[in-house]
Amino acid sequence: MPELPEVETTRRGLAPHLLGRHVARVVLRRPDLRWPIPDAVTARWPGQRIDSVERRAKYLLLGTQAGSALLHLGMSGMLRVLPAEVPPGPHDHVDVLLDSGRVLRFTDPRRFGCLLWQAPGEQHPLLAGLGPEPLSDEFDGELLHRLSRGAVHR
């Protein structure tokens, strides 16, 4: 399973290829991965400019004005940016075609990953219960000390 450093590396690798790009179309070869892919992914994402590529814990968030795609790589998933003409393989379940002529391809042999949607101003329930972000400025020795003593962080 990709751990937080691998997910952050993935985020940093994807950002230059995605930021400022418009989603031309989303192709779902499976309507579900770990969970059903919400209709909002194909209804709201196309036509949107990707304004942010963020990470929250092991989730990637691709932000637009219409909301954010929420991706988790599961145990064996990966995201690649490829020329759109590269044919999909048997485990390539989602293509996000970009205005650059490239495609963001989500490959997940075990289908433990997910592609979900988060509306603007909302927090997806999968993110709501997460603790402090360990790579943020807020996560310092004082916070770690309080947490180790049972103090709740809000």
Tens digit of each residue's pLDDT (9 = 90 or more) over 23-51: 999 999 999 999 999 999 999 999 999 99
Q: Is residue 140, in this structure, part of any structural domain at all?
A: no
Q: Is residue 30, in this structure, part of any structural domain at all?
A: yes
Q: Is residue 142, in this structure, part of any structural domain at all?
A: no
Least confident of 22-31, 54-63, 139-148: 139-148
Q: Is residue 154, in this structure, part of any structural domain at all?
A: no
Q: CATH number of the domain that 12 lies in?
A: 3.20.190.10
pLDDT cut 70: percent of the chain above it: 98
CA distance 132 to 92: 33
Count of domains for the chain? 1
Q: Which of residues 146 and 153 earns the better pLDDT score?
A: 146
Active site residue ranges: 2-3
Q: Is residue 136, in this structure, part of any structural domain at all?
A: no
Domain range for 56 is: 4-125
Question: Model pTM?
Answer: 0.90
Given a contact cutoff of 8 angstroms between Cβ atoms, the answer to whether 64 and 50 are in contact is yes
CA distance 153 to 57: 16
